[in-house]
Amino acid sequence: MSGVELTQAEKRTFDRTQRKARRTALLFVAPLLLFIVVSFVLPIGTMLFRSVYHPAVAELIPATLQKLKAWDETSNTIPEPDALQVFAGELKTLVENKTFGKLAEEINRSSPGASSLIKSTARKMSRLDDAELQSKGDQALLDAGKQWSNPNLWRSIKKAGNVFTGAYYLTAVDMERNGEGRVVSRKTQIYTDLYVKSLKIALYITLLTGLIGFPLAYYLANAPERTANVLMVFVLLPFWTSLLVRTTAWMALLQTNGVINSVLQSLHIISEPLELLYTQFSTIIAMTHILLPFMILPLYSVMKGIDPSYFRAALSLGAKPIPAFMRIYLPMTTPGFSAGALLVFIISIGYYITPALVGGVDGQMISNLIAFHMQSSNNWELAAALGSLLLVLILAMYWLYDRLVGVSNLKLG
């Protein structure tokens, strides 16, 4: 059938209608796009930028860093006297601006013990006049502490002065550069051990929620509608309660004189209270309870859609119940189980408040250390690097899930 040719006026009218429809669609999705940009893209972009951008030292002692560019840091000598004089003068300026403590804090991160040296030296330099600093500032600096004759301290100052640096990523994986510039392992392994522990805790929580959630979701999917609705209210009940309240309730249950210890002692099962709170066990058990609905709901939605006649057909053909369940029913629940497992694992690996309240030192996760660097040590760059690596880890898990199960099989409801 031959088409009907549109006139130019009809084509223009059609194009205007199409453009209007596209603008209308864009207006509908604009709030969502704005929300994603503001709440997701900008924070993550800022985090990635802060993990490599560190201008603090460069802003505090710019003239010294300019002088240090000519210094060969691979040599076993300290910088030239004119660089020392400039540094002594800038220390005096920092004392006048009351910012010498910031410089001491920054250098102390890469050179432990330098904080007190820089503060005491800065106070001594502040007592000299400008003429003395220009004529013998280098000698005054060396007299202020023998550590100023150590090239490693100057290497730390020069390294800390880099505006863009990957040093925080090396620290986040317990690596560092030695005096020769080679990447070596740090003496103390903190962050990699904590990453591994966080992965283990997240894995335990995922397995526990799966073990508890699967039979419960199966019962909900096959129970009478009225019973299933009542039980579903209990599943959703945690969502109607504050997370802080639920975590505090676990503290009351697990403490030395809490409900669990009291019951066990009254039943003469134990003679002394168990140390349940502030352990890895308390973190796992509390987070399993909190995250259990995230496993049950995807499983329930998938199980509810499975036709029970498949299982009955297998039984009618002579299959025993357990093999029929394992070969017929269980594979059909994979999309729900994998979605729930992915959801629980990703949420739990970055969980903060529950490990902070009930975990103690033994139950701390990498998220708690990130919060420490943001709130206590004021090392936002290292916190951003740790957060970026956590993001990479989660993306790797998501990629692995896509390779093994397939994102197209993801069913959340």
Are residues 96 and 134 located together in one domain of the fold? yes
For residues 13 and 82, membership in a common domain is answered with no
Is the predicted pLDDT of residue 42 greater than 90, yes or no?
Answer: yes
Residues 215 and 99 both lie in one domain: no
**Do the beta carbons of residue 337 and residue 329 sit within 8 Å?**
no
Kindly tell me the number of DSSP H helices and DSSP E strands found in the chain. 22, 2
Instruction: Give pLDDT, residue 202.
Output: 95
Query: What single letter denotes the amino acid at residue 252?
Result: A
- pLDDT of 413 reads 54
What is the pLDDT at residue 176? 86
Neighbours of 197 (CB within 10 A): 16
Residues 6+ apart with CB under 8 A from 373: 379, 380, 382, 383, 386
What confidence category does residue 302 fall into, taking pLDDT thresholds of 50, 70 and 90? very high
Output the six-digit token pair for 201. Answer: 């805790």
Q: Are residues 31 and 127 in the same domain?
A: no
Q: How far is CA 57 from CA 102, 103, 104, in A?
A: 9, 6, 10
Q: Give the burial class of 346: count Cβ atoms within 10 A of its Cβ; 0-12 exposed, 13-18 middle, 19 or more buried.
A: middle
Residues 312 and 398 in one domain: yes
How far, in Å, CA of 365 to CA of 120, rounded?
37
Rounded alpha-carbon distances, angstroms, from residue 187 to 129, 179, 184? 42, 15, 9
pLDDT for 50-64, tens place per residue? Answer: 999 999 999 999 999
On whether both 39 and 64 belong to a single domain, the answer is: no
Do the beta carbons of residue 142 and residue 149 sit within 8 Å?
A: yes
CATH of the domain at 306: 1.10.3720.10
- For residue 411, the model assigns a pLDDT of 60
In the predicted structure, residue 2 carries a pLDDT above the cut 60: no
- Is residue 410 predicted with pLDDT exceeding 90? no
Whether 186 is covered by a domain: the verdict is no
- Within 10 angstroms of residue 389's Cβ, the number of other Cβ atoms is 18
User: What would the pLDDT profile of 206-233 be if each residue is shown by its tens digit?
Assistant: 999 999 999 999 999 999 989 999 999 9
- Residue that is last in its domain, among 162, 183, 202: 162
Model pLDDT for residues 80-92, shown as the tens digit of each residue: 999 999 999 999 9
The answer to whether residues 274 and 148 belong to one domain is no
Q: Which residue has the tokens 């990523």?
A: 169
Residue 175 lies in a domain: no
pLDDT at 249 over 70: yes
65 pLDDT band, cuts 50/70/90, is: very high
> Residue 1: pLDDT above 70?
no
Q: How far apart are the first and last CA of the chain?
A: 45
The identity of residue 409, as a single letter, is N
Please tell me the number of Cα atoms within 13 Å of 334 on its side-chain side: 12
Compute the average pLDDT of residues 340-348: 91
Question: How far is 23 from 181, CA to CA, in rounded Å?
Answer: 55
pTM (whole model) above 0.85: no
In order, the DSSP letters of 148-215 are GG-HHHHHHHHHHT-SB-SHHHHHHTTEEE-TTS-EEE-SS--HHHHHHHHHHHHHHHHHHHHHHHHH
Q: Is 53 helix (H, G, I), strand (E, B) or coil?
A: strand
Reported confidence tier of residue 409, pLDDT bands at 50, 70, 90: low
369, containing H or E segment: helix 366-375
Nearest C-alpha neighbor of 364 from the set 249, 255, 282: 282
pLDDT digits over 98-146, tens only?
A: 999 999 998 988 888 899 999 999 999 999 988 888 888 899 999 999 9
- Nearest Cα neighbor of 128 from 154, 98, 78, 91 is 91
Residue 203 is assigned to a structural domain of this protein? yes
Mean of the pLDDT values across residues 350-363? 89
Q: Domain count for the chain, please give it.
A: 3
Would you say 248 and 282 are in contact if contact means Cβ atoms under 8 Å apart? Answer: no
Percentage of residues in the chain having pLDDT higher than 70: 97
Asked if residue 113 is part of any domain, the answer here is yes
Q: Could you tell me if 252 and 305 lie in one domain?
A: yes
Condensed to tens digits (0 to 9), the pLDDT of residues 166-189 reads 989 999 999 988 767 788 888 888
- Average pLDDT estimate for 144-157: 91
What's the mean pLDDT when you consider all of the chain? 89
Task: Say if 395 falls within a structural domain.
Answer: yes
Residue count of the chain, please give it.
Answer: 413
Note the pLDDT of residue 208: 97
Residues 6+ apart with CB under 8 A from 287: 201, 205, 348, 351, 354, 355
State the DSSP code for 223.
S
Highest mean pLDDT among 232-241, 299-308, 395-404: 299-308
Instruction: Report yes or no on 198 lying in a domain.
Output: yes
**pLDDT confidence of residue 219:** 94
Contacts of residue 178, Cβ cutoff 8 Å, sequence gap at least 6: 184
Share of the chain above pLDDT 90, in %: 56
- Say yes or no: 67 and 132 in one domain: yes
Q: How confident is residue 308, by pLDDT bands cut at 50, 70 and 90?
A: confident
Task: State which residues form the domain around 40.
Answer: 1-45
pLDDT at 406: 74
